[in-house]
Amino acid sequence: MTSTFSVAKKIIRGKQRQAVHEALRVPRTGKQILELAREQAPRMTYQDLRHILRSFQDQGVAVCLNPENQTGRLYVLASERDQHALSLPEIELQAKLRRAKARMSVLAEIGRDHTFEPKPLTASQIRKNLVPTHPLGLNHVLAAIKYLEQHLLVEVVDYTAKRNLKIFDLTALGRDVLAKAQADKQDKFL
Q: 148 vs 10, which has greater pLDDT?
A: 148
**What is the per-residue pLDDT for 31?**
85
Name all domains of the chain by residue range, CATH numbers in brackets.
Answer: 4-84 (1.10.10.10), 100-179 (1.10.10.10)
Q: What is the DSSP string of 11-70?
A: HT-SHHHHHHHHHTTS-EEHHHHHHHHHHH-TT--HHHHHHHHHHHHHTTSEEES-TT-S
Query: pTM to 2 decimals?
Result: 0.61
H-run or E-run covering 177: helix 172-188
Over residues 23-48, the pLDDT tens digits come to 888 788 888 889 889 999 899 999 99
CA-to-CA distance for 78 and 61, rounded, in angstroms?
5
pLDDT band at 8 (very low <50, low <70, confident <90, very high): low
pLDDT in tens, 127-168: 999 999 888 899 999 999 999 998 888 999 999 888 899 999
pLDDT of residue 50: 92
Distance CA 118, CA 12 (A): 53
Write the DSSP symbol of residue 80.
G
What is the per-residue pLDDT across 86-132, written as a single tens digit (0 to 9) for each? 565 666 677 677 677 888 889 889 988 887 888 888 999 999 999 99
Q: Could you give the strand order of the β-sheet that contains 62-64, starting from the edge strand earlier in sequence?
A: 28-29, 74-77, 62-64
